[in-house]
Structure 1
């Protein structure tokens, strides 16, 4: 038997208010999307000032009525710096009779009907809670497992951890979604099985703490997912440059005259890729900074929770996330940034090498053109000089037909002089 008194389900949803480089129109769009999660006509007091934790409505809780008369619930919207947070709470009104674990499925259906999908969430956390009946002995771990299965029909989780909170049992279930596969979100579920009503009522004082803690956790996992996407983009940029470099590195590439214009296009293309690569590298560093800031906030909030709770409580599973963020997320990002910076230097070297090839080719072309101009100039000058003297050629070449064709004679002499001038330049230069 897996019965709980006063089963309560809370969904904590988080969405960005002002993403990096967001325009005023984009910020307003995010605000409208967040408002769409609340009842029609709800007004929020959302100033532009930075605030660590701000309640957005008066009263802070907005109650809702369910079509199921046995249920009750409320919305609780807040803003945490650049992030909107929304708690949707739904519970069974009966606070005396034990309810089967499958009641959580009913609660989830109610919450899902009030959570509009147009909100682009950066993450979410489910919190299930209830307290045990004094009349029956039940294993909290078995109840937590049944509650999870009632909530998610796939019965699929990657990891389960446990601890104690307010002298009661608390469990964490992590979904099977893999962050390294860039899934949209990991499934994060907390299930608190309180030993008595007093502990359950005391736990209600921690909702604002959970709101902050889950926010920092979801922002850390979101930033890491974003960093994986940015890394993929950086790798694609690098591969494109490598493809262009291989074309230019062909042994006979520079011997083909038509490739000079192609090389200029390739150089411009690589320069554009380098610019995008540099921007993505900055984004990667930015995601690392997001993780560092939110990890610090997470640890601070967790310490506050531990101070408010019983000294004997064990919340190691929450502290394990700090280790994961430090030893995996931050370490991986640090290595990625170092490697991608090396890649940036290689890209710059590639551009410099191509530019040098192009400059050498251009200089050779300019030199050939100058030689051509010089040779033609010498020929033209010779023809001009012979223009007048050739009129008197009959006195010199009276026994030949040369003087009958003065222009052809001048042109031939000009060509011979030009050819001789070209040979002379070749020997001297």
Structure 2
């Protein structure tokens, strides 16, 4: 048949963070437990708390599994790469002599997915499809690769990047994982429809067996790729969060900038509540801005590791191999991801400065308003004090002046004063208070 391969093999490489920014010990243990759920229950697991570039964390490193389909065979291989767990699940047709149809990969995928705990939160995954052609085969490598691909992903376009590997042909599909997803539809589970696939069609068994020596290299390369894609996607989420914070602060700023806001005798407590709200949002904004810079650093570190690992693979494979197509991803990271995040950081830092200016302006206006109200209160106290003092001073003399002996003098000419001494004293106090207010205002 025109789509036959010998020993079709499917490998799933998936990655989950062991630790991340601000992860607690309890959260780290929970992530470790979730990763262990992918392995057989009797697995001997060893993960010391040390920093390591590549550590096999099970004994034995390769754990064979019993397939549901007896014609299949496979194994688990688990490692830790610094702060990330990596898991390879390998499954193949248990027959290395007879040809198998390309749609056998659908059977292999079903077997692998039955081994997975779909609750595991992952940062990326890659499917690696491989097999070799029968002797003297005239089949077209790309036609077979395309049929193998569609056995796994029926409704996705075939738009591969191409190269050569160990005298065979290699194809990569799914270069932009996460990037085309909506913010609302992002998935971090194994159920994600996003995919990245490498299909290798070898010319003979010897090449396929030699390719098995590159599994550790693929493990590292795919890990760095996944972390770069994940960090860029996280940066998009962080940017969206920053924009939301900025909008909230702008809403509060517009309230305080209304022309009648400070003229309507707003309560100081209300203004302070607005200021506290802006302060709280600004703290979250600052944390997100640091997180954005952190994602950039993740991309830079893993991009360097990706390029180094790819260079080592090229050297290991020899000069007759063409793996340059794998450099397109590093170009994407260099020309799109990093410049985009750098520009976002610059813009958001400018936004931070504007927000700080907004807070300072709001705080100044509150202090001015507070000082003005305190001054008005002092004016009231001074005027009221003058009036009350005048009333107090007049009451006692008024009684004496309005006695029968004194009424014969000038006070009998103003009987109202003697008939209503308190009211008269109060009127004089008000007049004195008004004079005090007028003089203070004039001298200010």
User: Which string of whole-angstrom CA distances, capped at 9 and with x for unpartnered residues, describes residues 285-332 of structure 1?
Assistant: 000000001111111111111111021211111111111111110010
Partner of 1:168: 168
Conserved 8 A contact 1:165-1:310: no
Q: 1:325 to 1:176 in 2, by over 3 A?
A: closer
User: Which string of whole-angstrom CA distances, capped at 9 and with x for unpartnered residues, describes residues 46-97 of structure 1?
Assistant: 1111010000111100000112111000000100000000000000110011
Distance 1:196 1:360 in 2: 84
Is 1:315 matched up with 2:329?
A: no
Matches within 5 A, 1:178-257: 179-181=179-181, 182=183, 183-184=186-187, 186-257=194-265
Q: Normalising to structure 1: TM-score of the pair?
A: 0.97
User: Which string of whole-angstrom CA distances, capped at 9 and with x for unpartnered residues, describes residues 189-235 of structure 1?
Assistant: 00010111100000000101100000000000000000000000001
Deviation at 1:253, TM superposition (A): 1.8
User: Which string of whole-angstrom CA distances, capped at 9 and with x for unpartnered residues, describes residues 11-62 of structure 1?
Assistant: 0010000111111110110011000000112121011110100001111000
SS at match of 2:45: coil
Deviation at 1:248, TM superposition (A): 2.0
Conserved 8 A contact 1:148-1:155: no
Distance 1:289 1:88 in 2: 30
Deviation at 1:414, TM superposition (A): 1.1
Partner of 2:343: 335
Distance 2:329 2:195 in 1: 14
Partner of 1:398: 412
Deviation at 1:388, TM superposition (A): 2.5
Deviation at 1:259, TM superposition (A): 5.5
SS at match of 1:263: helix
SS at match of 1:254: coil
SS at match of 1:164: strand
Distance 2:336 2:60 in 1: 41
Partner of 1:45: 46
Partner of 1:415: 430
Conserved 8 A contact 2:177-2:196: no
Q: Detail structure 1 runs of 4+ shifted over 4 Å in the superposition.
A: 175-178
Partner of 1:36: 37
Structure 2 gaps of 5+ residues are: none
Conserved 8 A contact 2:275-2:363: yes
Distance 2:379 2:278 in 1: 33
User: Which string of whole-angstrom CA distances, capped at 9 and with x for unpartnered residues, describes residues 353-386 of structure 1?
Assistant: 1112211211111111110000001111112222
SS at match of 1:124: strand
Distance 2:378 2:160 in 1: 79
SS at match of 2:160: strand
Partner of 2:440: 425
Deviation at 1:178, TM superposition (A): 5.3
Distance 2:88 2:374 in 1: 72
Deviation at 1:177, TM superposition (A): 5.7
Deviation at 1:387, TM superposition (A): 3.0
Matches within 5 A, 1:70-109: 70-109=71-110
Deviation at 1:180, TM superposition (A): 4.8
CA RMSD of aligned residues (A): 1.4
Distance 1:94 1:7 in 2: 9
Matches within 5 A, 1:356-367: 356-367=364-375
SS at match of 1:387: helix
Distance 1:98 1:337 in 2: 55
Q: Normalising to structure 2: TM-score of the pair?
A: 0.94
Deviation at 1:342, TM superposition (A): 0.5
SS at match of 1:68: coil
Distance 1:400 1:107 in 2: 117
Is 1:306 matched up with 2:320?
A: no
SS at match of 1:192: strand
Structure 1 gaps of 5+ residues are: none
